[in-house]
Amino acid sequence: MLSFFIGMSTITIHNDLNNPKHYTHFFGDDISIVLVIEKELKSGNYYDKYEASVVTINDESTIGSILLNIQKDSLEKLKVDDKLYLKSTFKELIAPMNPYYFDYKEYLKKQNIYHQLFTNQHEYLVLPPREFSFKGLAAKLRELINIALKKNNFKGDELAVINALLLGQRQEISPELIKSYTGAGAIHILAVSGLHVGIILLILNVVFKPIERFKNGKTIKLILVVSLLWAFAFVAGLSASVVRAVTMFTAVAIGWQVNRPTNVYNTLTISMFFLLLFNPYFLFDVGFQLSYLAVFSIVWIQPLLYKLWKPKWKPIDYFWKLLTVSVAAQFGIIPISFYYFHQFPSLFFVSNLVIIPFLGMILLGGVLVILLSLLKLLPEFLATAYNYLIHVMNWFVDWVAHQEGFLFRNISFSILMVVASYGIIIFGIRFLSKRNSIRLIGFCLALILFQSTFIYEKQQRLISDEFIIFHKSRFSMIGKRLGKQLEVYHSLDSITFAKDKVLNQYKVGVGELNITSQNTIPNIIQFKEKRILIVDSLGVYQLNNYKPAIVLLQQSPKINLVRLLDSLNPKMVIADGSNYKSYIKRWEKTCEQKNTPFHYTGQKGAYVLKD
């Protein structure tokens, strides 16, 4: 009961909307806003993106974070601690426009970000920056490091990887490089996590070992190691993954120094407990889930796998240990990886076996390169060698990722399947570690649950019918699904249609589908008892007393919408992404006057009509 109420209290306290000073309580027209930049995010195609805190609204002190979008019309980017004054309107975060797309709005809500602002460099005034913040200090230090590295000819993907590995900043990594690391099953290398912090802890433990010979040496060593771990977390931006890893290994380091045997399960649980007290929203962070599941699996499953074979030759034994660690981690994260990422890189063990043994050298070398760069003492041969090492690692990962036959994509996996899969893993490992009838029954029940879930979801696909008007900017796409059969009408060319992500995401979300397509869109579609009339650029809508329930407007038809509504009296009017926005605003006003529901896919997302 105590734990339950602590959790409820923590969630309530950390929900910014419950604070009377939150900016949402000061909304109004023509408001003056002062913002402070807290974090630079990865830029989009048209906007530079930042996380910013709302300092004041109309001179009233406020709190709360927003997503700030600044149009890419300037080479000068804002920095952490920069303060801006502007007059603007808070806009709602955009929900996914099509079914089964990543919900960025929900993701930001879990970080207490509920609104966004759009502006450009001519619409805001730069004020004197915030005097001091740890985030700003860390950002300035990272900037100094990057300037020093660029002077030593580090650039492109190599510089981006150094920023990711040692500074915790992934904004500059190219989409192609991320795709390669994901396809090779090595994306965890680019995210500072328990693996990196554990290696750094081992390195620091060796480096400061001689201090133990002096009086109070163990205490001094502990203070130095823990301080440097948190200094690393500070430079890396105190991201969720870094904070949880450093918290966990701080507990491990303390256990080492006081010569008390540490129960790893207790250490993990304690670190998780304090992290969730600090920020309960970490629980919904994908990295948090993957990290703890992987570590729990390694601690539990790896010893069992290692016992299967004990090589006598040390080098083989080392790689066998590494392989069992990698496989054990995959056991823990496979179901949830299927659910979030819908793919499985079966060559993950190859990339891990090659990269992880050298990761300690890469991290240690990176720290040395950064320190010498800042001191302007970095020899050219060392810079060239380290640059080449990163280049080779990127090349190897890219090579593994291009073995397409070993990468399984578009795996449909629901949350029910995740639960059932973990049931099989938990009861299966328990049975294999100690065989008895009770554990065998538990394992068999877990298998039955998994099979039942699979059969149930397959049956649901067979009986589900949907009519979908997808949102596509400047194009039209309509789907009529009857069970496993999906008929698609669209205005795309064949090459664009084959690469289209909207349809691919829908297929992954729903599961196995048989798709047929037509690159022409008929004027009339019948879905069960519903009649849908499609009015295109020709503007034809009077078809022999045809009375549709839904009218779909596409390709900006030049029609008198009042006359159409009076003559057809539809129950709903829908406009897709192929129409001019000026037309949509006019149609929306007309429908409002006529009390006819209006749905614009660019604002409300795809329209889905279920049976």
- Mean pLDDT across the chain: 87
List, for residues 425-463, the tens digit of each pLDDT value: 999 999 988 889 999 999 999 999 999 999 998 888 888
Task: Note the pLDDT of residue 489.
Answer: 94
Task: Note the pLDDT of residue 451.
Answer: 96
Q: pLDDT band at residue 320, thresholds of 50, 70 and 90?
A: confident
Q: How many CB atoms lie within 10 A of CB 93?
A: 17
489 or 137: which carries more pLDDT confidence? 489
Domain 20-131 classified CATH 3.30.40? no
Task: Over range 15-43, report the average pLDDT.
Answer: 88
Q: How far lies 212's CA from each of 165, 225, 251, 260, 350, in Å?
A: 30, 12, 19, 17, 39
Residue 238 to residue 279: CA distance in whole angstroms: 13
List, for residues 163-219, the tens digit of each pLDDT value: 888 887 888 888 888 888 888 877 777 777 777 787 788 788 888 888 888 888 888
List, for residues 381-403, the tens digit of each pLDDT value: 998 999 998 988 889 888 888 88
Q: How many CB atoms lie within 10 A of CB 473?
A: 10
List, for residues 507-540, the tens digit of each pLDDT value: 888 888 889 999 889 999 999 889 999 999 888 8
Task: Note the pLDDT of residue 257.
Answer: 67
Q: Which two tokens stand for residue 82?
A: 């920069």
Residue 448 to residue 443: CA distance in whole angstroms: 9
Residue 171's identity, in one-letter code, is Q
CA-closest candidate to residue 138, choices 208, 204, 80: 80
Q: Identify each DSSP E strand in 491-569 by its residue range.
A: 514-518, 524-527, 530-535, 550-553
Q: Which two tokens stand for residue 458?
A: 């397959």
Residue 548 to residue 336: CA distance in whole angstroms: 44
Query: Which helix (DSSP H) or strand (DSSP E) does residue 354 occupy?
Result: helix 348-374
User: In sequence order, what are the residues at sequence separation of 6 or more whose Cβ sits closer than 8 angstroms to the Cβ of residue 319?
Assistant: 353, 357
Task: Note the pLDDT of residue 72.
Answer: 85
List, for residues 46-86, the tens digit of each pLDDT value: 899 999 999 999 989 999 999 999 988 766 788 889 999 99
Q: Which two tokens stand for residue 78?
A: 């804002």
Residue 565's identity, in one-letter code, is L
Q: What percent of the chain has pLDDT over 70?
A: 98
Q: How far lies 547's CA from each of 133, 554, 569, 578, 582, in Å?
A: 64, 18, 8, 24, 27
List, for residues 224-270, the tens digit of each pLDDT value: 888 888 888 888 777 767 777 787 778 777 776 666 556 777 777 88
- Range from 27-31, 87-91, 326-330, 496-500 carrying the lowest mean pLDDT: 27-31
Residue 275 to residue 289: CA distance in whole angstroms: 13
Helix, strand or coil for residue 458?
helix
Helices marked H in 82-239: 104-109, 134-151, 156-167, 175-183, 194-207, 217-235
Residue 320 to residue 84: CA distance in whole angstroms: 55
Model confidence pTM above 0.85: no
Residue 65 to residue 114: CA distance in whole angstroms: 8
Region(s) of the chain under CATH 2.40.50: 20-131
- What Rg, from alpha-carbon coordinates, does the chain have? 28
